[in-house]
Amino acid sequence: MTQRNAALNVPLWRGVGAFLRMVKIEHSIFALPFAYIGLFLAAGGWPGWQPFLLLSLAMVAVRTWAMAVNRLADLSFDRKNPRTQTRPLVSGELSTGPAWSLCALTAIVFVLACAGLNTLCLILSPVALAWSGLYSLSKRFTWLAHFWLGSVLGLAPLGGWLAVEPAFTLPAVLFFLGVLFWVAGFDILYACQDVDFDRLHGLHSVPARFGLVSALHLSTFSHVNASLFYLLAGRAGGLGSVYLLFWLLVSSLLIWEHKLVGPEDLSRVNTAFFTFNGAIAVLLFVGVLADLLISGA
């Protein structure tokens, strides 16, 4: 049976599951809390149901678009990488046709959701789609790909802010920079798993270019920057001691994350990548929300 026929014969519920696994839907926890940080901070509290739901829809759509484009762009490499053999496009659970259809659908949903927010969001929606989609090609020509990915997820707090106040403000920009360095830092850690594969196939990454030891140092440097930008963003946004407590907790988790991974032991990279960073995103949003609630009480 060909890969295409195998994909067509997959039951509907398994096909949906394969779609969700292809785009790693659970990783939405990285971006959504930061979008809500921008949304709630710009509104000074609850923004109302319409911007909340439209922003949520836009964020899920653009993230799904970006992940689907990435899986399609990297398919030839994923078929060669032992670590990625269970991805649905590689295993044959999904074919490329439905994946491209998903890209088209989510791009349309994203633009429509942005149109429902305000004119500036609509104008910027094609830029966000292009920037997040082009990231998928960045490893072919620059080791700065990790920072490009960081800038893609950094659009989350900017987008959240623009959903309420269509203007680029200092707190939103500082949160953008915080997310940029935070994502770059943990993506460098994640890329350490593929250092030999990247070198063999001419792909660019910090570990492949500079080695594991230097990559871990640069990851640490990135997370120090992320912590500082989160602190500055909270100050610029008028947040107080409650946010500061959560910022200290987040900074402690970043330190702990780097104690899990060393150049001789990469076995806990996935724990550092998903568990810790998912917690960091949620905790920072809870800190912002708690501070707004207490200060507004």
Domain ranges of the chain: 29-296
Mean pLDDT, range 93-102, rounded to an integer: 86
Cα gap 149→138, rounded to integer Å:
9
Q: Indicate if the pLDDT at residue 12 is higher than 90.
A: no
Residue among 86, 83, 104 at smallest CA distance from 94: 86
Looking at domain 29-296, its CATH class is mainly alpha
pLDDT score, position 4: 45
Confidence of residue 2 (pLDDT cuts 50, 70, 90): very low
Cα gap 297→161, rounded to integer Å:
22
With beta carbons less than 8 A apart as the criterion, state whether 35 and 59 touch: yes
With beta carbons less than 8 A apart as the criterion, state whether 59 and 31 touch: yes
Q: Indicate if the pLDDT at residue 208 is higher than 90.
A: yes
Q: Indicate if the pLDDT at residue 116 is higher than 50.
A: yes
Q: Bridge-partner residues for 262, per DSSP?
A: 265
Mean pLDDT estimate for the chain: 88
- pTM listed for this prediction: 0.89
With beta carbons less than 8 A apart as the criterion, state whether 266 and 211 touch: no
